[in-house]
Amino acid sequence: MDNYTKVMEQKAYEAAIEYYPKEKILEAVNTFHKFSDSLDDFLRNHGYAGDINDITGKTDFIKRSFEKSGIPVPRGIREWYTKGKGISRTTAFQICFAFRLDKVETDDFFRRVMMTKSFDCHAMEEAVYYYCICNGKDYAEADQLLQASPLNQIPDITKSRMVFDGDILFTSSIMKEIDQFKSGEELLTYFKKNVEKFGYNHVTATDGIQNSGEKSETRKKDLPTKKKSEFRDASSRRKKKGVCLKFCGRLWDWTKWK
């Protein structure tokens, strides 16, 4: 972590304490639905009939589902329960394949268990998962497609500036394209033709932020002097509040408060 990041995180910490007392934050943390609790609900609805408090029974059930589907069993399943550990998006998709979920069920798994959106097709890996799950393909085929995908050709936008010339791939447009494919070969051809576009993630949000920023600057220039000052004060308050919210969003790693 660089020095700038450390300084900003300390500022976020101090601002959050000022706006939200520690007791209030701990109270909020205790209301969060744990990943393990959400996973229990999922297991009940997908065939687990044992004691829901039996960690060994639940982990064995998950392992069997992976093994039946020919998917490598994730390490540390037991720690999902004993240490409150979460899982990566890749592992989450593997669970969806292991339990043979369809598109709607996968969306529901991510919403209820992972508490986030499902397919982010700007990531080539997840575009493969989208194609396979929508078309009833198993994990073995998804893995084969990933091995054949030009993942190593995706540009690193942290090392070079990407220019799109107005031709941007949005998540919805990627999905519409994939929905038309009849074979994995078509998907791979699509990747190869558009590989540079997969180096830029969350383009919709970034593009919107840039546009709104430009519009904001234009509006500020048109404001009278007094209103410009008011605008700066309001902007400062929003930034400070944003820092607090960012801090609170990191409370999943809340053991530091104990």
Q: If you average pLDDT over each of 7-16, 75-84, 199-208, 211-220, which comes out highest?
A: 75-84
Q: If you average pLDDT over each of 15-19, 27-31, 55-59, which comes out highest?
A: 55-59
* pLDDT at position 237 over 80: no
Of 179, 204, 209, 212, give the one whose Cα is nearest residue 117: 204
Bigger pLDDT: 28 or 236? 28
Greatest extent of the chain over all pairs of C-alpha atoms, in Å: 69
Contact indicator for 79, 85 with CB cutoff of 8 Å: yes
Residue 88 to residues 14, 81, 107, 138, 211, Cα–Cα distance (Å): 30, 15, 16, 19, 32
* pLDDT at position 47 over 90: yes
| pLDDT value of position 232 | 53
pTM: 0.66
